[in-house]
């Protein structure tokens, strides 16, 4: 390696075109997935106070938003539903006329080429706000698997392109893969929330999806934030069970986990730039403390640099504007 003064690293930083030519990581529109929330009703778009620029859409306005994504050439969306009513078993999650099922059919009818991913979990649909069946005050793993399978099949029947289980129950990827294969949906990929941490960064999402737990917390099934070796074991299990894409969630506080997963497994890796990460940037920008565009692009690039192949982010539409500006 040459040393100063023969080697001057600043030579290749001296102007933008040189910087472009030697840039190691490029954030692209092709990397983006835009999460959206859907509610019952008509002609509705309710802005989420903790997530400026994000909305709870009725199915008709969701279709309009989906057409906008397609026009922006964003590859896909992931959908989260808010039911008309909730109950202990989250029955609307797997009802053929449930809100997500209606939304998937409507989007695929209107914008067939837009990739539609569906979050598979029960927390938005249960009256207790937990991600599974409750017995004796605790979430029961195996009875929950049966409901997650029903939910996944209902999404597949509605036309979902990708099934994304986020519940963190043990064995759910294998159960869903087996059910999809047995029912003629062997070509539908599974994007598993494989390393989903019990994070404080989910706060604004709880408002958006109306899914806050009514007692306790989710630490008995979501991962403990200090752990990374455990995340690698979770990922290995999901690969063995048939996952096609592995997700790390959240992203920014877990860049090391993203990097380890990508390096050790060499599989497609998704990272979720979650609601709290988004809200912090928006709030600081609204107060004039930071430049939203520069900070958001820097953060998203760091996620890509860590090894993510795709990023779920509420900044997706803005990124298109910034990149094309």
Show which residues are catalytic.
196, 249
Of residues 236, 255, 263, the one with CA closest to residue 300: 255
- End-to-end Cα separation, the chain, in angstroms: 38
Q: Please tell me what DSSP assigns to residue 285.
A: H
Answer yes or no: are the C-beta atoms of 56 and 82 closer than 8 Å. Answer: yes
Query: How far is CA 171 from its chain centroid?
Result: 20
| Contacts by 178-182, CB closer than 8 A, 24 or more apart | 178/242, 179/149, 179/152, 179/153, 180/152, 180/153, 180/156
Question: Which one, of 246, 243, 257, lies nearest residue 178 by Cα?
Answer: 243
Taking the C-alpha atoms of residue 131 and residue 154, their distance in angstroms, rounded to an integer, is 17
CA distance 140 to 156: 25
Tokens for 241, please give them: 């069970």
- What gap in Å lies between CA 197 and CA 306, rounded to an integer? 18
Structural tokens at position 10: 């600043």
Task: Identify which of 116, 153, 244, 248 has the alpha carbon closest to the alpha carbon of residue 190.
Answer: 244
């Amino acid at each position: 390696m040459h040393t100063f003064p023969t080697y001057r690293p600043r030579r290749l930083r001296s102007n933008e075109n040189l910087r472009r030519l030697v840039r190691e990581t490029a954030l692209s529109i092709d990397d983006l997935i835009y999460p959206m929330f859907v509610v019952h009703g008509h002609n509705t778009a309710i802005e989420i106070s903790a997530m400026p620029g994000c909305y709870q859409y009725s199915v008709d306005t969701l279709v309009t938003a989906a057409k906008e994504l397609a026009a922006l050439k964003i590859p896909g969306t992931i959908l989260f539903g808010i039911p008309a009513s909730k109950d202990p078993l989250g029955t609307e999650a797997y009802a053929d006329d449930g809100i997500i099922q209606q939304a998937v059919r409507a989007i695929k009818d209107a914008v067939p080429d837009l990739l539609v991913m569906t979050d598979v979990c029960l927390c938005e649909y249960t009256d207790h706000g937990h991600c599974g069946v409750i017995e004796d005050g605790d979430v029961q793993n195996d009875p929950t698997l049966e409901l997650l399978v029903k939910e996944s099949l209902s999404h597949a029947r509605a036309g979902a392109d990708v099934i994304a289980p986020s519940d963190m129950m043990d064995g759910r990827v294998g159960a869903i893969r087996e059910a999809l294969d047995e029912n003629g949906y062997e070509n539908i990929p599974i994007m598993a929330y494989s390393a989903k941490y019990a994070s404080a960064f989910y706060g604004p999402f709880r408002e958006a999806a109306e899914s806050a737990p009514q007692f306790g917390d989710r630490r008995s099934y979501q991962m403990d934030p200090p752990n990374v070796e455990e995340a690698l074991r979770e990922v290995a299990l999901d690969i063995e069970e048939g996952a096609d894409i592995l997700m790390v969630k959240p992203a920014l506080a877990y860049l090391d986990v993203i990097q380890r997963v990508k390096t050790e497994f060499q599989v497609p890796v998704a990272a979720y730039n979650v609601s709290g990460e988004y809200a912090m940037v928006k709030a600081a920008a609204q107060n004039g403390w930071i430049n939203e565009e520069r900070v958001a692009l820097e953060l998203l690039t760091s996620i890509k640099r860590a090894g993510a192949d795709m990023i779920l982010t509420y900044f997706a539409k803005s990124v298109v504007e910034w990149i094309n500006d």
